[in-house]
Each structure stands twice: as structure tokens, then as C-alpha cells.
A and B are shown apart, each in its own frame.
Chain A
Amino acid sequence: MSRSTAPSSRWVAAPVAALATVGLLTACSTPLASAEDTVIFAIKEDPTCLDPQQTSMTTALNIGRQVVDSLTDQDAETGEIVPWLAESFETNDDLTAFTFTLRDDVTFSDDTPLTATVVKANFDALAALGPAASLASQYLAGYDSTVVTDDATLTVNFSTPNAQFLQGTSTMTLGLVAEASAAATAEERCQSVIGSGPFVYDSYVPNDSVVIVKRAGYDWASTLREHSGEALVSTIEFPIITENGVRTGGLDSGEFDIIQDLPYADEARFDTDDFNLYAKANTGVPNSLIPNTSRPIVSDEAVRQAMLLGTDREEIKTLTGATNSEPPTSALTSSTTGFVSQADAMEYDPDAAMALLEDAGWIEGADGIREKDGVKLSVSVTAFYAQDVLETVQMQLAKIGIDLQLNMVTAGDFFGVIASGDYDFLGAALTRTDPDALRVLFSQAASSHWAIVDDAELEGVLAEQAITADAEARAALVEQGQALIIDKAYLIPTLETTQLHASVANVHGVAFDSASRIVLYDVRIAE
């Protein structure tokens, strides 16, 4: 039989070879595909509110990013703002008007098209939401109006210069929802929103799970992503698993593909070939002690300087198990645009710290705590997370004779303390992608009122960077601000918080955006 077919085989060979070549080429042009349709991503807490415009909770944003797209995107490496739903954008010289030209092929999952009117409805609704969307209110500070020129063109106007707005348009906080969602109440939007993203909300059972499914026909991904077109898996389930041990155990047993927030202590256990780890430092101001210099002891610069020099950031990293992070070396984290290291001015030097205190008249008392004129060198820090970090600082400061009292409270009480101004130090980080985080934290004119610092020079620099359009000039001001803050010890940085997630080894495509939130558009499971 084989012999009889032999003569014809040459004739068959050519087309078969051609087909095979085409097949190979096709395989090459679609390099990304998923072997499985469903990804199980265990999250650590109930997202509470699914509307990324309203919530600042990392867990909620890690889900929201998949459902809601933004006008622009930001390169996490370079900090460059690139087009996304807006194919081009322009800023006027004094940062009061931003003009966007929209792509014409974008639709929301309710099949309504993205038009300039919808963008206007989004910003107008956000401005009206007020305290319910507090982060958006900060991005939209001085918002005046959105003027629609035609279907694809709009201009956002501000009454005062707004340097952070353009970067803000790359965040989910200013992400775009369909007109129907923009018109809904804040409470309704928390249950579900309609976005233009690669996934849509399928279900949300509080305290149980969130499920998102692939959006058919999606074709407007940001160029920063690995592929284009529809998402690679059809369903992502987010079971809400509050117990750390159950999340890690489930990852180990294969019940979960990806887990949010791998505890630092478990890192070594999962740092093997069977798992992938994903770590990225939060942007903005690192975990720090934030002073209220209207308090007598805190107003003493020598005390703050001694605290800055007496804090061993390398040891904090080791003792809290945060092996993936870098010790902070400035008032901004190393992953933030505009970061300039101030390491020399804040190197650990307990001897210098003690000398500073001696010179300022703080003499060691009987119990090892220094005192001056009968006043003990005792200050308190109010915080609602990272108790282990503060305990390490407490131990380190005790060595140079400073008594640090920890006041751990709930998140609500933390802001209650800010509202009343009743604190020596706050213990917290401020997560923002833009270096304007410094102004939010330190400017006495800002609405947040965290640090209480009376320094006209710093206030001037921070106000100036917020209205400077030229990137280089602004970077110089941001650098000046960081130098001033560390020089006067207006901030005692402790740790750069790292987002640490883990997945089984055959999961690929888990990426971070510039705000260290997760993007799952490229996620897939290999054979």
C-alpha cells in the first residue's frame, strides 16, 4: 500500500508543507493563549465597594482595574503618560486646561459608545460625589467644568493649576464608567458599575466572592499591555479569604491560582520553582512617622533629627520580614516619579543621634529615658496598621533614650485623631502615583491635614510644584521638597510597603500598573 501511494506523495507534499508553514506562522502570531478558562484569585478582604472611582481600597482596585479603563495609562518604569481611551491629549501652559481626543471605537459593556459627553458626565458626577469619592476630589481639586467640543474632543478646565490631574487620568479613580453608572447613586455604584474594560462584573456576594467575565469584542487595550484584543481567560473568580493560612494553604493545594497579599513571613516557603511571586513597592510617601510640630517635644528639631538618625531602616526590613522591599531613603518611595535619594542625610547613626539629644539638653534619666527640665522625652504615634514596624522603631528609639508610645486604633479613629489634631506623630504611608503626594501630606493648605508643619519655604516649594507644567522644573522642585523635608526631619520614614502576591508557576501575565495595583488583562494559564 505504501508503495502505491508513493508516486502521488510528491504532489501532496508541497501543499502540506505550505499548510504546515502557515500553521506555524499562525501559531507565532498568536503567542498568547490560556490553557484554562477560569482563574481563581483569592483576595484578602471584602472589597465593600466595587466602584473604583469611589474606593481607595487596594483589594477593590485590584478587581476594578479589570472592569474600568482610563483616559491615559502610565508606564510603571518610566512614569511616562501614554494614550489609552484618549488617543491624544494636550495641556495648556498654566495647567488649567486639559484637552483629550477620544478613540472612536470604544464602547461600554452596556453597548453605549464612549463620547466626550460621557467623559463630562463622569467628571461632573465625581465632583458632585464629594466626600464619597475623596481621592477623586483631590485629583479634581479646583475642577471648574468639562467643555465638549465634539463627540471625540473635550477640555477639562480648572480654576487653579492642577499638576496631578493628567497623571490622575491614568488611575482608576478617574477611570470612566458608562453614563448610566455615572447617573446612579453612590450606593448603587458600589454594588456594580459598567465600564469599558476587558472584563465585566458578573456577580458580587459580599463576604463571599466577586466574579468577573470576559468582555466579548474588547479591542482597546493600552499599548503597555502584552497583547491586544479580548482577555485571555473567560472568567476570573475572586473568593474572599480573610484567613492568611487558608489563602496560602489553598495556593499550595492548587485550590487557588493566585493569592493577594502573601504574608511576608511565608515568602521563603513560596519562593520556589512551583510558584511565582509578584512584588512591587507602593508609590507615594513610604510608611513613616508624620509629625505634629505644634506639640512641644515634636517641635524640637533636635528630637526629630535624632529620631531620623536613630531609626535603623535596614533592621526594620529584616525584623518585619519584608525582604522584597528597599529601606526608604527619602520622603518618596523609590518607585515614585521624581524620587531623589536623601540616603546620606538619614543614614542610621545612633551615636550622632544621642549627641544631638545631649546638645539639646536631653539628659538620660534613671530609667534610660532622657529628660529635660523635668519633662520626659516621651512621644506617641497613632496608627491603624503596621504595628510590627512601629514596635521595631519603638525598640530602636528606646536605645537612644526616646520613649515612643504606640497608640493603635481603628481606621475610623485614626481619621478622627487627624480631625481633632490630637497626636504627636501619625504612623502611616500615603499611596499616590504622583509626587504631589508630598503636597497632600505636608501642605497646610491641603484638605488632608496630616503633617502639621510650620515652614513657609516648604509650603512655597510644594505649592509651586503643583502649578509647574515644565517636567524638568517640576522635578527640581520635587527634589527640593524631599531635601527640605529630610533636612528638617519633618518625616521619619520607616519602611517601603511592598505589595506581595503569589501564584502557581503556570500562571503568566500578572502585571502591576503604575500605582502598584494588579492588571489581569494578560493573565493566562500555561499547559
Chain B
Amino acid sequence: MAPTPRDRLAASVRYLGPKLVQFAFVIWATYTVTFLLIHFLPGDPVLAALSLKGGDATTTDPAELAALRAQYGLDGSLWQQYVGHFVSALRGDLGVSIATGQPVADMVARALPNTAAVAVLALVLGVVTAVVITFLAFVSPWRWLRQTLLQIPPLGAATPAFLSGLVLVSVFSFGLGWFPSSGSRSPLGVVLPAITLALPVGAIFFQVFSAAVLDARKGPYVFTAVAKSLGTGTIFLRHVLRNSLLPSVTILGLLIGYLAGGTAVVETVFSRDGIGRITVDAVLARDTNVIQGVVLVVALVYSVVNLLVDLSYGLIDPRTRLALVGRRAGSARVAAARDTAVVES
């Protein structure tokens, strides 16, 4: 019996409802934990901000410091501060940076496109390279070549971005002069940082993707396809690729989360403005409002991506869809698939 539209709606709500609650919970919990962590950090944000500008003339007059604390909403009990900041954040007001005096929302809006440009390019480069190497390993007639190809990508994860970044700058900027060494003033400036980030990102993706592909290669449907004398390329694209998508999409979601906040080293080496850089600066300057704002935005990106990943399971794997409509136990299997992917990463 075919499911009625009513059944479908109920199934969607059953599937989506808990996910949305989880989504809100993750963001609230991240916000709260960050708030507590910042406030248990030693050090005075107001003095840190003043010393940034004041240098060796920084005032330590208690009355002046107290006035500034009140101005930035850092007075009152922990609970009062938490409620005050949380209510403002809900209204979309992330406050003002104590160190620079700029609205936090402006700072994030300024930095996010720079980080996004590097992250997207890094992801594309990393994923494409991983797929190409996996394909080559898949079609390789010799075991030794396959094993060699499979051993290359872990190098990318093993080399620290700090080192690979400086090597790339030395060769391609200072040596060959193809790309600018720093900044986002030239559109080409995005290339070297993206390659630097693509190395670890591609390597992690490769680990999961190639394992899934080689696993799928042993599947009976591949045996059947070979018996039908389908071309290797067709087998890879039509049968193997689709079956290895589930863990791959999961790891992709995790990688996007990592890229949203984990670009600090690359942004420092290449002197680019971005989310990672302002986070590091903010932590060093105890700039609580900026840390809160950035963590909130990164948590949002991370949660949205993972929600999309969860939703995409239904599109990728028809079994998931059927399981949803049929019985609720289906989601358990999806979770199991995700766990496998995470372990393998």
C-alpha cells in the first residue's frame, strides 16, 4: 500500500522534529559553555583591550577600569551578564568588540567571506584530488601501484599547515612569483592558502572515501556489473560512487565545520583576514564579545551543515527513505552509518 501524503508529512515531522531540537540545543550549549569558559579564564578583558592601545601608558586606575567594565556590560554577577548577553544575542545583537570598538557582527561579516573563499576552494581542491587518486587506485591493475597511491594522501594530513604554507609561499611567491604571498587584496591570493588547507582536508576525506570505495568494490553488485562487462569508469561512477556517498557526505559535513573555524594557522601564515584570525586575536585579547560572536556563528554553520547532511541521507540512500516511512527504527541505522564514518576518519 502506497503511503498517503498525510503519512509522509507525519514521517517528515517525526524525522525532522528531533533534528531541529538537537540543532537548537547544540547552538545554545555551545554558547553557554563558551560563556562559562571565557569567564573562568584568568585575566581582565578591559585591561587587555586598554593595553593593546595604551602600551606602556596603560592606566590601572580602579575607578576608570570599573567605568569601562560597566560600559561593555562586564559588570554585575555572572548570571546577570549571561542573561543580558544571551537576550541580546537572540535579538541578533552580538555587542561591540572591547579591543577594537567595532560591532562584532560587522567584524564577522567582514571576515566570513574571506574564510569562505579559502574554505570552499580548499574543499573543492581536496575532494577532487581525493576522488581522482581513489579512481586511479580503483582502476589500477597492479596491487603495488594501488597501495602506493593509497599511501600518498596521509602525507597531507601529517604535514603541519604552518610548514606546508611557508614552503608554498617560498616556492610560488618568492621563487616563481606566480601568486601573492599574503593578504586578500588580489583575487589570486586565495590560491596558496586554499592549497595549504586542501592538503589535510583532502587527506581526511580521502581516508573515508577510499575506504568506502574499496569496500564497495568487493560488493556483489560490482561482481555482477563486471560480469555484464560494463566499463570500469561506468562501474565506478554508477555503482561504486553512489554506494560510498553516505560516509563521504558525513565526513564532508564534519570537514566544513572544521573549515569554518579551523583556518587560523593558514590565515596567520598568509596574513589574511578571516574567522580564524579574529578568533585567535580575540582570545589573546580576552575580547569576550568577539569570542562569543564567532563561536556562535561557527556553531550555526556547523549545525546547519550537519542538518543538511542528515537530510541528504534520504536523497542518497533510498533505504533510509523507506525506513522513515515504514518504521522509526530506520534512523538508528543512519546513525550507525555515521558512526562508522567517524571512526574511519
With a CB–CB cut-off of 8 A, which chain B residues contact A414? 51
Contacts of A249 in B (CB 8 A): 169-170, 173-174, 181
Q: Which A-chain residue is minimally distant from B277 (CB atoms)? A: A207
Does residue B286 face the partner (Cβ distance < 8 Å to A)?
A: yes
What is the bound-complex CA distance between A131 and B51, given in angstroms?
10
User: Interface-forming stretch among A238-246, A269-277, A364-372, A487-495?
Assistant: A238-246
**Residues of A contacting B180 with CB < 8 Å?**
255
Contact partner of A131 among B68, B101, B181, B284, CB < 8 A? B68
Cα(A190)–Cα(B96), bound, Å: 14
C-alpha gap A209/B68 in the complex (Å): 29
Of the candidates B47, B64, B273, the one whose C-beta lies within 8 Å of that of A412 is B47
Which residues of chain B come closer than 8 Å to A253, judged between CB atoms?
A: 173-175, 177, 181
* Separation of A239 and B185 alpha carbons in the complex (Å): 9
Query: How many of A's residues come within 8 Å of B, CB to CB?
Result: 52
C-alpha gap A246/B273 in the complex (Å): 16
Which residues of B33-61 are within 8 A (CB) of A?
42-45, 47-61
Taking a contact as CB atoms under 8 Å apart, the answer to whether A416 and B43 are in contact is: yes
Q: How many A-B residue pairs have CB under 8 A?
A: 168
Partner of B268, one of A132, A239, A242: A242
Q: A48-B53, A241-B271 are in contact. Are A416 and B181 (CB under 8 A)?
A: no
Q: Quick check: is B30 within 8 A (CB to CB) of the other chain? A: no
Q: Which of B47, B102, B274 contacts A415, CB < 8 Å?
A: B47
A54 to B61, CA, bound (A): 17
Asked, given contacts A130-B64, A208-B185, A412-B47, whether A242 binds B271 with beta carbons under 8 Å apart, the answer is yes
Given the interface pairs A252-B174, A410-B43, the reply to whether A447 lies near B273 with Cβ below 8 Å is no
Q: Is A116 on the interface with B (CB-CB < 8 A)? A: no
When distances are taken between beta carbons in the complex, the residues of chain A under 8 Å from B177 are 253
- Residues of chain A with a CB closer than 8 A to B64's CB: 130-131
A-side contacts of B166, CB under 8 Å: 243, 245-246
Are A49 and B100 also in contact (CB < 8 A) when A54-B53, A252-B174 are? yes
Kindly provide the distance from the CB of A288 to the nearest chain B CB, expressed in whole angstroms: 12
B284 proximity list for chain A (CB < 8 A): 410
**CA–CA, A276 to B186, complex, Å?**
28
* A56, B56: Cβ atoms closer than 8 Å: yes
Q: Is the CB of B185 within 8 A of A246?
A: no
Q: In this assembly, does A122 line the interface, its C-beta being within 8 Å of a C-beta of chain B? A: no
B294 within 8 A of A: no
B273 x A57 contact (CB < 8 A) = no
Counting chain B CB atoms within 10 Å of each CB, the highest count among A58, A245, A252 belongs to A245
Min CB gap A397→B, angstroms: 24
B61 and A415 contacting across the interface, CB-CB below 8 Å: no
Contact of B59 among A134, A206, A209, A245 (CB under 8 A): A134
B56 touches A239 (CB 8 A): no
Q: A411 and B174: CB pair below 8 A?
A: no
**Contact between chains at B52 and A449 (CB < 8 Å):** no
B60-A418 in contact (CB<8A): yes
In the bound complex, residues from chain B placing their C-beta under 8 Å from that of A242 are 268, 271
- On whether the beta carbons of A48 and B47 are closer than 8 Å, the reply is no
Which A residues are in CB contact (< 8 Å) with B285? 412
Complex Cα distance, B170 from A252, in Å, reads: 11
Within A284-311, the residues touching B (CB, 8 Å) are none
Please give, as numbers and ranges, the residues of chain A lying within 8 Å of B42 by CB-CB distance.
413
The reply to whether A48 and B99 form a contact with Cβ atoms under 8 Å apart is: yes
Q: Would A246 and B100 count as touching, CB distance under 8 A?
A: no
Q: Are B185 and A209 in contact (CB under 8 A)?
A: yes
- Candidate in A57, A138, A206, A419 with the most chain B CB atoms within 10 angstroms: A206
CA–CA, A12 and B112, complex, Å: 69
A186 within 8 A of B: yes
Query: Which residue on A lies nearest to B52, using beta carbons?
Result: A48
- How far, in Å, is A454 (CB) from chain B's closest CB? 19
Chain B: minimal CB distance from A22 (Å): 43
User: Is B184 close to A, CB under 8 A?
Assistant: yes
Stretch of A104-112, A426-434, A461-469, A519-527 with 4 or more beta carbons under 8 angstroms from chain B? A426-434
- Residues on B with C-beta less than 8 A from A413 are 42-44, 47-48
Determine the distance from Cα of A338 to Cα of B54 in the docked complex, in whole angstroms. Answer: 25
Q: Are A255 and B57 in contact (CB under 8 A)?
A: no
B278 located at the interface, meaning its Cβ lies under 8 Å from any Cβ of chain A in the complex: yes
Instruction: Indicate if A344 sits at the interface (CB-CB under 8 A).
Output: no
Once the chains are docked, how many angstroms separate the CA of A252 from the CA of B177? 12
CB of B110 within 8 Å of the partner chain: yes
A207 touches B102 (CB 8 A): no
Residue contact B43 to A412, C-beta cutoff 8 Å: yes
Contacts of A134 in B (CB 8 A): 50, 53-54, 57-59
Q: Considering the complex of A and B, which 7 residue pairs feature the smallest CB-CB distances, nearest first?
A: A412-B48, A187-B101, A56-B55, A207-B273, A135-B57, A419-B60, A411-B51
- Contacts beyond the supplied A135-B55, A208-B184, A242-B268: 4 A-B pairs with Cβ under 8 Å: A245-B169, A246-B271, A249-B170, A415-B58
Q: 15 A-B contacts, Cβ less than 8 Å apart?
A: A48-B99, A57-B52, A134-B58, A135-B57, A205-B273, A207-B277, A208-B185, A245-B166, A246-B182, A411-B51, A414-B51, A415-B60, A419-B47, A431-B55, A448-B60
